[in-house]
Structure 1
């Protein structure tokens, strides 16, 4: 028994003795007086009740402490098993004696780490495994996006920042019309708790991915819905003003295709929604950021102007539900 447990038992015994002896001392004073037999019976009954209640209390407290200790031990075991599983997943990513790990092993290791809540470690390993040069990349774009998505969903601000940086760094190799090329955590929706740097990197990644994607109607719809999701869900006026400026660069071209609404899962984004977002455009008080936003907006505008009808290629139908 631990020191705290022994102290608890001794304290409880002291309470039992106190509540038992004190009433007895008070009531046994006239023990030899008149009615002493009935008084003694009452005292004994009272003491018995107190002792029984005190023993029950001691048992309850000890049982509670035992359950808490067992819970702590089980939690420690779970953490240990989780750490061992993470180490085994890390071994899948490590080079072997025969050479670099197989891409399938790399993907399995990284995704296993995200499932074990080690998204920060997974995205850190991704830095060396996902290169902007397709000839040097060791894992597929789709696997990298799954790891980035897990990192963005995590509660680690550092993991979110690294994920956003990697997404921006490799954005120009991604295709805006491929749903597996963009994290679902920010696909038509947003996480407003992102740090300012993480937000800027994701927005820049979205624009860079779009302007290097095929200039097609589907890609134009995709970027419109994704930008609107950021504008709708972020309460920061400066973020809304920046996104409103970008939406304003593409909304007229969207109108040329004569569509009034755009489906995104269970939500509907209308051309009126996009117009309202565009009207919120404002200049960032930071002149440097304002210039960067203007440059990105001009690139996006030029790309949108060249967009033609959607070609029938794999995944073309899914772009209608962006």
Structure 2
């Protein structure tokens, strides 16, 4: 009840963003991730909206993370949909702009549509972000985390197609391994994933994955130099 009161409009109009954020995060702690992520549809500012009247991107990502970790397939799907919808205003180099549930980790039990939305969100976010070496590394290790844990060959083939694009560019930087959290991703691991690239038997899905790969292919060559904003050093860890 208290969580609902925090989200409800105040006497003076809309609820304060901090109150809305508290209410949404409280819902996730009360195992109501379904409701919390559904409320993002109205509470997460679209690009160009007055963000002071809505919750921040960082709060939204925390709610999405909770929904992706929940046992509810519907909450997971809505979370992936919202992540994809807002991807172009997020920064691939910022840890607070990507849910930790799929940051080097992956849930093979996600429904197919949920998986595809998350992958598309990552590509959309990357190609809308400032192109630099840190951004390229982040994309590579996140895609590899999906590829490593995904059991379906058809999905791995699509992910391998995307990894191949960023792998080719990473080779030009002469990296031998990338740090990702507490894990090390060797360039040979990425090469193995890239070698799995395959056409999808569903021609429609294959065309869509080709489109995403082409977006990355156009973006990757412009990735050069190091990020200079806050958290630049941490970008070395994926």
Alignment of 1:12-51 (within 5 A): none
Matched, 1:114 2:28: yes
Give the whole-Å Cα distance in 2 for the aligned partners of 1:134 and 1:225. Answer: 30
Matched, 1:258 2:174: yes
- 3-state DSSP of counterpart to 2:154: helix
CA-CA distance at 1:235 after TM superposition:
0.5
* Aligned Cα root-mean-square deviation (Å): 0.9
Give the structure with the higher percent helix.
1
CA-CA distance at 1:88 after TM superposition:
1.3
Alignment of 1:266-305 (within 5 A): 266-305=182-221
Give the whole-Å Cα distance in 2 for the aligned partners of 1:132 and 1:255. Answer: 37
1:46-88: per-residue Cα shift (whole Å, max 9, x none)?
Answer: xxxxxxxxxxxxxxxxxxxxxxxxxxxxxxxxxxxxxxxxx21
- 3-state DSSP of counterpart to 2:121: helix
- 3-state DSSP of counterpart to 1:269: strand
- 3-state DSSP of counterpart to 1:268: strand
Give the whole-Å Cα distance in 1 for the aligned partners of 2:71 and 2:48. Answer: 30
Alignment correspondent of 1:317 = 233
- 3-state DSSP of counterpart to 2:197: coil
Maintained 8 Å contact 2:8/2:14: yes
Alignment correspondent of 2:41 = 127
118, 139, 146: which one pairs with 1:202? 118
Give the whole-Å Cα distance in 1 for the aligned partners of 2:114 and 2:132. Answer: 28
Give the whole-Å Cα distance in 2 for the aligned partners of 1:172 and 1:216. Answer: 16
Maintained 8 Å contact 2:84/2:120: yes
Give the whole-Å Cα distance in 1 for the aligned partners of 2:127 and 2:97. Answer: 14
TM-score, length basis structure 2? 0.97
Residues 245, 308 of structure 1: alpha-carbon distance in 2 compared, 3 angstrom cutoff = same
CA-CA distance at 1:136 after TM superposition:
4.1
CA-CA distance at 1:266 after TM superposition:
1.7
Matched, 1:180 2:96: yes
Give the whole-Å Cα distance in 2 for the aligned partners of 1:97 and 1:133. Answer: 27
Alignment correspondent of 1:168 = 84
Give the whole-Å Cα distance in 1 for the aligned partners of 2:4 and 2:36. Answer: 9
- 3-state DSSP of counterpart to 2:13: coil
Runs of 4 or more consecutive aligned structure 1 residues displaced over 3 Å after TM superposition: none
Larger Rg: 1
- 3-state DSSP of counterpart to 1:249: helix
Alignment correspondent of 1:25 = none
Unmatched tracts of structure 1, length 5 or more: 1-86
1:249-308: per-residue Cα shift (whole Å, max 9, x none)?
Answer: 111110111111001122110111001001101111111110010011001011001111
Unmatched tracts of structure 2, length 5 or more: none
CA-CA distance at 1:311 after TM superposition:
3.0
Give the whole-Å Cα distance in 2 for the aligned partners of 1:133 and 1:214. Answer: 17
Alignment correspondent of 2:9 = 95
Alignment correspondent of 1:80 = none
**How many residues matched?**
236
Alignment correspondent of 2:134 = 218
